[in-house]
Chain A
Amino acid sequence: MSRLSIITKGIIKENPTFVLVLGMCPTLGTTTSAINGMGMGLATTFVLILSNVVISLVAGLIPAKVRIPSYIVIIASFVTLLQLLMQAFLPSLYETLGLFIPLIVVNCIVLGRAEAFANKNNALDSALDGIGIGLGFTLSLTIIGLVRELLGNLSIFDMKIFNGDGALAFVLAPGAFIVLGYLMVLFRKLTERMK
């Protein structure tokens, strides 16, 4: 597999949100606006790249039986690092994303990539894989956030596009499920057409 295809496969072919349907909790819970979705995506990407690199380096040293708990400890360390960094430099985003930042630990995408890719490949490829999957995740979350923000608040990236009030339901819980459902259908249709 070429280096470039490792990055690009995460965006369409193995898109974590629309194709693999992983990490649904932050996908639904944080995409109330495009900015929040993007912030959550980038935070996950940060953890994903670092944990992928470290796991690919130490994979040979860990006995197979205790590998999952060890991976969780490695991932949790980077999540703690991220929490401290965000508290220091992005306190308002940290406040908005709230519970979903510590919950990156149990995000199946991160553990999934460790198990499916990082423990079999070298550090550079694993970093690229982290970038690719992270980018795919960030892109999906930003798109969902964009749609919900546009329908719910009539704005994009906090800029008002139309005057008046949107359909508030799209910012609230039901909108998350419905927008993601329809976007998934759209994604399926588009990828079918490309084939």
Chain B
Amino acid sequence: MEILIIVISAVFVNNILLSQFLGICPFLGVSNKVSTALGMSAAVMFVMALSTMVTYLLQHYVLVPLGIEYMQTISFILVIAALVQMVEIVLKKISPALYQALGIFLPLITTNCAVLGVAIMVVTKEFTFGSEAHILNMGESVVYALASAFGFGLAMVIFAGIREQLEIVGVPASFKGIPIALITAGILAMAFMGFSGLV
């Protein structure tokens, strides 16, 4: 039951893009077409789940026992950067088809703040799912990461669909490009706010 609440909360109520503002760069940058939005979301989901798992272990078995929690930012970003590199190399070797689909998005992900954001969030923030506030355990963390990435994908794909339609309409010159995209995202965020009573 608790897992279900985590998923609903991460996908709809606290949507990572529209209510927490993480990963806005790819949201505005590669959401012109539904197909690229799908590819980017798949890559983010893959990397986010993996990196959350690794940084969770790093935090609880290295940083906390040694009492060097202040190294969190440096070590997390290094681990994520190395992991993305490694995923790229492994994918290239074992699944060229998947590499073809996700390859171009992988280098972009290192600087996607959603990945580092979720990794830091699950080890520092106390969540109240169900009974009392607690730091998530490893299984919950990975579920949270996957659900966040799914929420990211959901918002990306909806937004890409809207932007494909926007291409056809006549928008005033000074609104073209990013401004109209931002205003659209604002309205989409308003729609997502409707979920806020859910959990």
> A residues engaging B (CB < 8 A)?
21-22, 24-26, 28-29, 69, 72-73, 76-77, 79-80, 83-84, 99, 102-103, 105-108, 111, 169, 172-178, 180-182, 184-185, 188-189, 192
Contacts and interface: CB of A to CB of B under 8 A. Distances in A.
B116 A105 contact: yes
Which 4 interchain pairs have the tightest Cβ spacing? A177-B186, A181-B182, A29-B21, A178-B186
A181 B182 CA distance: 5
A80 B73 contact: yes
B72 A102 contact: yes
A22 B71 CA distance: 26
Nearest to B75: A76
25 contacts: A25-B117, A29-B20, A72-B77, A76-B78, A83-B70, A99-B22, A102-B116, A103-B120, A106-B111, A106-B116, A111-B111, A169-B190, A173-B21, A174-B186, A174-B187, A174-B189, A177-B182, A178-B183, A178-B186, A181-B186, A184-B178, A185-B175, A185-B179, A188-B174, A189-B174
A181 B179 contact: yes
Given A106-B110, A184-B182, 20 more contacts: A24-B25, A25-B23, A28-B21, A29-B20, A29-B22, A73-B74, A76-B73, A76-B78, A80-B70, A99-B120, A103-B113, A169-B190, A173-B21, A174-B193, A177-B186, A177-B189, A181-B182, A182-B179, A188-B174, A189-B174
Given A29-B20, A108-B25, A173 B71 contact: no
Nearest to B124: A99
A106 B77 contact: yes
A25 B174 contact: no
B166 interface: no
Interface in B179-197: 179-183, 185-187, 189-190, 192-193
Q: Is the interface of B mostly helix, strand, loop or mixed?
A: helix
Contact of A177 (B20, B70, B113, B185): B185
B113 A175 contact: no
Contacts of A69: 78, 81
B36 interface: no
B69 to A, nearest CB: 11
Contacts of A99: 22, 117, 120-121
B186 A176 contact: yes
A25 B22 contact: yes
Nearest to A101: B73
Interface in B60-79: 70-74, 77-78
B87 interface: no
Contacts of A181: 175, 178-183, 186
A24 B192 CA distance: 20
Given A72-B81, A184-B178, A175 B186 contact: yes
B154 interface: no
B74 A28 contact: no
A99 B18 CA distance: 16
Nearest to A105: B77
A102 B78 CA distance: 13
